[in-house]
Each structure stands twice: as structure tokens, then as C-alpha cells.
Chain A
């Protein structure tokens, strides 16, 4: 099964679609989690996901707002979608009945 950070990357890339690349995925993750996302963690995890066949990446065209530099574009593969949905189902199942999903407080 994939890890939490891998799931975050797969979900952001799937949401962003054709606009999924390093910087945009990083912004999505930071917005969603409220935590900083380092480039080192992002790129090494992307490599791992690509090695597992969950995403494909390629160098896109250079753009002006990036100082004429290319983007590393990301696309989630069918296997990646399957893995991410498996992870989501597992998280949903395990979370059923937990206080934070039912708004009941169990801490005293």
C-alpha cells in the first residue's frame, strides 16, 4: 500500500490534471495540509511513484513565469488511480466510528 505523502501527491496530481507539475502539486499539498512541503520530499517521492508505475513524468515546455525553465509534468497512471482509491477506501473504513468522523469527543 502507498504511504500518506504518496497519497497526497497522487490526489493533487489527479485533481490538477493537465496542470500537475512540481510547483502546482507543492502548492496544493501545502494548502490542504497547512504544512510546508519541501522540494526534496516532493521530488524523491515522485521518483518513487514513477518507479512503482503510479505516475509518469516528463519535461514540459519552458514558460516565462518560471524564468524560461521547463516544468516536470506529472500524470497519474491507471495503476496509480487504483492504488490511491484502495488507500482512500482503507482510510475511510478504518476511520468509521472514530470520534473525529462522528463529531463525538472521546477524550476526557
Chain B
């Protein structure tokens, strides 16, 4: 265990454990200096806890007062989490229908039908592309967040996960579109009978499956993107600009792709995007740039390793 101040009573040991736990919320270097100061000064018990807690509160409050955090939340985190939750909802719905169709209603007799295999292949291909594009969008969004200044990165990341989860839980995008249509006096769609009733009645597909999709296709790739984005701060300026531009284009493509959300850019822009949607076939590779990025990284590592072995 980490060295603690001289007082070895049970209470002191417990307090020191609390101090160690609280100090985890500080940066690495600051944690080291603070714990050292407490040990040298001989602070223990409640006073040590109060000291570390005070510093943690001050640090967290300072982040909340940082204008950069609020600007990043307003212009990147909020729209991106909103859009990703909408796309994840749609993907989860699509995935639930296919899974239910093929897994819950599997019939060996169908395997003798050539048409069955044709449809299955086509469905699997289309759904895989949908999932891949969602993963790449999530990664790109994470990359943008990872490029935030270090002072607001942690808060930006936590806000992103929180907003994503809340937006997904309450299906905020659908509610927002209804509200927008209501505000502009547009006729709301009449409520039709649920054609997927047998699927939504299944607890797994209704409750767990959407969250699994969100975790695997959105949260994990986004966290990886955040890490890579933060690491990109060490790259050369030109390279950073290229990566940042690719991530921004990918996120903007997501905005155009998602029907209805073009209206977030204003009614006129939204209407123009909607009219010209079919005239703008977005090449899938444009969104899938993270794959090329990882391939380039892998190739670079392979060449370095090969060069090292040759020496």
C-alpha cells in the first residue's frame, strides 16, 4: 500500500484509504505532490481528507467554469451524441428485426431454398455496412472529442457518454423531430399499429439488445477515437490537420445522411439537403476513413519493425 503519515491507528489507515481514493481524481503529477505533502506535513484523518477533497472540488469546479468546455459541448458533444443515438436506435431496430427473423424463427427447411440464401446474403451485407459506417462515425466523433484541450477532455468525454445514454434512453431525436414538426404546424404521422409487436414483446430485443448495440457500435469505438484523438496531439501539425479534417467531414456526412437532422442547420439548408439528398450519393469510404487510418498505422509499425530487425 502507498506510504501513509506516521499515525498508524485504524482510523488513520481508513482515512488514508479515503485520501488515496479521492486523490485518484487528480492528475498523476498533482496526486504525487499532494500525497507527498500530506505525508511530510503529517496531515492525517479528517484534515487530510478535507484537504484533498477541497482540491478535487476546486479542480472540478474550475473545469465547469471553463468556457471552452461549454463551447465544445454546444457545438460538438451535444449534436454528435444526439445524432449517434438516433442512428444507433435505427440500427438496433433493424438488427432486432433481422435477428428475430433469422435466429428466433429459424427453419432448416428454408436452407434448401436458393432464394433464402440470396436474401440472407444481401441482408447480412447491407446490415454489416450499416454497422461498419456507424462504428466509423462513432470513432470519428470520438476523435474530434479527443482533440479537445487536455483541461476539458475528461469533462467532455463524460458529458458525451452521459448525453449519449440519456438521448438513447428517452429517444430524444424522435421526440425532438415531433416537437419541431409541431412547432412548424406540420402534420404529425398518425399512430399506426406496431408491425414489430412480436419483437418488441420480447424483453431481450426490447430492453437489452439496443444497449448492446449502443455499447458495441457507438461507445467502444468512440472511446477508442477519443484516445487516438488525444494521442494525435503529439503528431506533426500537418498530419493533425488532415486527420481533424477527415473526422469533421465524416461527422458532417452523418448530419446530411440522417433524414430530418439537416434541419438543425436551419429550415432553408435542411430543405435544400432534403431535396438534393439523392443527388449526393456519399461514397461509403469517405465515412470509413478510420479503417484506412488504422491500416496506415499498422503498415508503419510493420515497416519500423522490419527495419529494426534488419539492423
| A interacts with B | yes
A 22-45 binary contact with B (CB < 8 Å = 1; else 0) = 110011000000000011110110
For residue B269, CB closer than 8 A to chain A, the reply is no
A40 B55 Cβ-Cβ under 8 A: yes
> Contact partner of A44 among B3, B4, B62, CB < 8 A?
B62
For residue B39, CB closer than 8 A to chain A, the reply is yes
B54 A67 Cβ-Cβ under 8 A: no
Closest to A68 in B: B3
Q: Which of B3-39 contact A (CB under 8 A)?
A: 3-4, 29-30, 32-39
A69 B36 Cβ-Cβ under 8 A: yes
B36 A40 Cβ-Cβ under 8 A: no
Bound complex: CA A66 to CA B34 (Å)? 10
List A contacts of B36 (CB < 8 A): 22-23, 62-63, 66-67, 69-71
List A contacts of B62 (CB < 8 A): 44
B4 A39 Cβ-Cβ under 8 A: no
A23 B51 Cβ-Cβ under 8 A: no
A 47-69 binary contact with B (CB < 8 Å = 1; else 0) = 00000000000010011011111
Closest to A65 in B: B40
B26 to chain A minimum Cβ distance, whole angstroms, is 9
A22 B33 Cβ-Cβ under 8 A: yes
B30 A66 Cβ-Cβ under 8 A: no
A67 B32 Cβ-Cβ under 8 A: no
List B contacts of A82 (CB < 8 A): none
For residue B57, CB closer than 8 A to chain A, the reply is yes
For residue B41, CB closer than 8 A to chain A, the reply is yes
A53 to chain B minimum Cβ distance, whole angstroms, is 18
Bound complex: CA A77 to CA B175 (Å)? 57
For residue A72, CB closer than 8 A to chain B, the reply is yes
Q: Which of B199-246 contact A (CB under 8 A)?
A: none
A24 to chain B minimum Cβ distance, whole angstroms, is 9
Please report the number of residue pairs spanning A and B whose Cβ atoms sit closer than 8 angstroms: 75
For residue B58, CB closer than 8 A to chain A, the reply is yes
Chain A contact-residue range equals 20 to 34
Bound complex: CA A39 to CA B52 (Å)? 7
For residue B2, CB closer than 8 A to chain A, the reply is yes
> Contact partner of B55 among A21, A39, A66, A68, CB < 8 A?
A39
List A contacts of B32 (CB < 8 A): 59, 69-70
A/B interface sample: 20 pairs, CB < 8 A: A22-B36, A22-B37, A23-B41, A39-B52, A40-B54, A40-B56, A40-B58, A41-B58, A44-B55, A44-B62, A59-B32, A66-B37, A67-B35, A68-B3, A69-B33, A69-B36, A69-B39, A70-B36, A72-B29, A72-B30
Bound complex: CA A70 to CA B55 (Å)? 18
> Contact partner of A66 among B40, B50, B54, CB < 8 A?
B40
A72 B33 Cβ-Cβ under 8 A: yes
A26 B54 Cβ-Cβ under 8 A: no
Bound complex: CA A68 to CA B40 (Å)? 10
> Contact partner of B30 among A21, A27, A43, A63, CB < 8 A?
A43
Knowing that A22-B37, A26-B37, A59-B32 touch, tell me 14 more A-B residue pairs with CB under 8 angstroms.
A23-B36, A27-B41, A38-B51, A39-B51, A39-B52, A39-B55, A40-B55, A44-B62, A67-B36, A68-B3, A69-B35, A70-B36, A71-B33, A71-B36
List A contacts of B52 (CB < 8 A): 39
B36 to chain A minimum Cβ distance, whole angstroms, is 3
Bound complex: CA A96 to CA B283 (Å)? 77
B29 A40 Cβ-Cβ under 8 A: no
List A contacts of B37 (CB < 8 A): 21-23, 26, 39, 66, 71
The residue in B32, B33, B34, B58 that gathers the most chain A C-beta atoms within 10 A of its C-beta is B33
